Amino acid sequence: MKNRLSRRFNDPSIASSDITPEQVWVNRRTLLASGLGMAAAGLTGGAARTHAKELTGLDYRVAPEGPPVGEALTPFADVTQYNNFYEFGTDKSDPAQYAHEMTTDPWTVSVGGLVNKPGKLHLEDILSGFDLEERIYRFRCVEAWSMVVPWIGFPLAKLLQRFEPTSDARFVRFRTLYRPSEMRGTRSFTAVIDWPYQEGLRIDEAMHPLTLMTVGLYGKTLPNQSGAPLRLIVPWKYGFKSIKSIVAIDLLDEQPETSWQRLAPHEYGFYSNVNPEVDHPRWSQRFERRLPSSLFKPNRIPTQLFNGYAEQVAKLYAGMDLRRYY
């Protein structure tokens, strides 16, 4: 089946010395864009595409470059071993250590609420109608660290349109898998989240072409700790808005309560747009730490409004008080 996911991905627990250098990866992207780089192997056209799919596990095209042009990609090991996924623990290393316990095959996603065609689809059925593409996006977390990642996915709008949202739909609510038997963080007596984890977007944010339903990164299927098998990427918002391991989507006429709003509404607003002028109550957001970074080699850079995507998304918030609607 076209765009069918392979359930195999490489073990992310690799030495830094084994990470492909950035320039090699950038050149690989150029080769992909010009025929998947298989001419040297005597493969062209369909044969090259098939061979690339066998190597990567995903069938996708390289999308036009976006705002991160010229920025170094974050090494694969940092992307896959430094994660927030509280269902597996609150330490950044916990998801990579424990997320393998989560079963991701089979996987279904239900879509309901204010739609004309509510239903439930298997992941393979969702992907069968979409061409996957790779997009390099900045990914900015509220704790003031950031990454630049080549994500693979398709616009969320294409999925929502399949279920025909009604004219009353003004918001979209997302829910993460809740399976305590496989998610040790949800079994803790000190759990900080009221499970299952929930997030939300305004309908125009959800339908924006930058909003990506993601199934892979770096040419591979998503590792569990990165939100396998289906996660959201909203590149102009703080990372916790990009909900992982999605099992349910509902379209609503009222703004949904999100997990972090429920826990600490004075710290985490519904919109959570990246804004250097609006600090977290416990730290400044004027600068970010781009990974990889260390005590002796800090990679500290100024935070950009809307994470650098202002030209594309600022019009969504025209006339809004961005301090009040943070």
Q: Tokens representing 158? A: 């294409």
What is the predicted pLDDT for the residue at 216?
96
Secondary structure of the chain as H, E, C letters: CCCCCCCCCCCCCCCHHHCCCHHHHHHHHHHHHCCCCCHHHCCCHHHHHHHHHHHHCCCEEECCCCCCCCCCCCCHHHHHHCCCCHHHCCCCCHHHHHHHHCCCCCCEEEEEECECCCEEEEHHHHHCCCCEEEEEEEEECCCCEEEEEEEEEEEHHHHHHHCCECCCCCEEEEEECCCCCCCHHHHCCCCCCCCCCEEEEEHHHHCCCCCEEEEEECCEECCHHHCCCCEEECCCEEHHHCCCCEEEEEEECCCCCCHHHHHCCCCCCCCCECCCCCCECCECCCEEEECCCCCCCCCEEECCHHHHCHHHHHHHHCCCCCCCCC
CA distances from 7 to 51, 56, 124, 151, 286 (A): 17, 11, 11, 17, 39
Q: CA angle at residue 201 from 189 to 215, to 5 degrees?
A: 75
Q: How would you class 283 by CB atoms within 10 Å of its CB: exposed for 0-12, middle for 13-18, buried for 19 or more?
A: exposed
pTM of the model: 0.84
Rounded CA separation 83/126 (Å): 26
b or e along 2-24 (b: 16 or more beta carbons within 10 Å of the residue's beta carbon)? Answer: ebebeeebeebeeeeeeeeeeee
CA distances from 140 to 228, 234, 247 (A): 19, 10, 24
Beta strand pairing status for 300-302 and 231-233? Answer: unpaired
Give the other-Cβ count within 10 Å of 300's Cβ.
10
> What strands, in cross-sheet order, belong to the sheet with 198-202?
119-122, 108-113, 246-252, 171-176, 198-202
Q: What are the boundaries of each domain within the chain?
A: 64-317
What is the predicted pLDDT for the residue at 54?
57
What letter represents residue 245's amino acid? S
- In order along its 326 residues, the chain shows pLDDT tens digits of 444 444 333 433 344 434 444 443 444 443 333 333 333 334 444 454 454 465 556 889 888 767 777 789 999 999 999 999 999 999 999 999 999 999 999 999 999 999 999 999 999 998 888 899 999 999 999 999 999 999 999 999 999 999 999 999 999 999 999 999 999 999 876 667 889 999 999 999 999 999 999 999 999 999 999 999 999 999 999 999 999 999 999 999 999 999 999 999 999 999 999 999 999 999 999 999 999 998 888 899 999 999 999 999 999 999 999 999 99
What is the predicted pLDDT for the residue at 295?
84
Rounded CA separation 146/45 (Å): 37
Rounded CA separation 231/181 (Å): 21
Superfamily classification of domain 64-317: Oxidoreductase, molybdopterin-binding domain (3.90.420.10)
What is the predicted pLDDT for the residue at 50?
52
Residue for token pair 């939100």 = 227
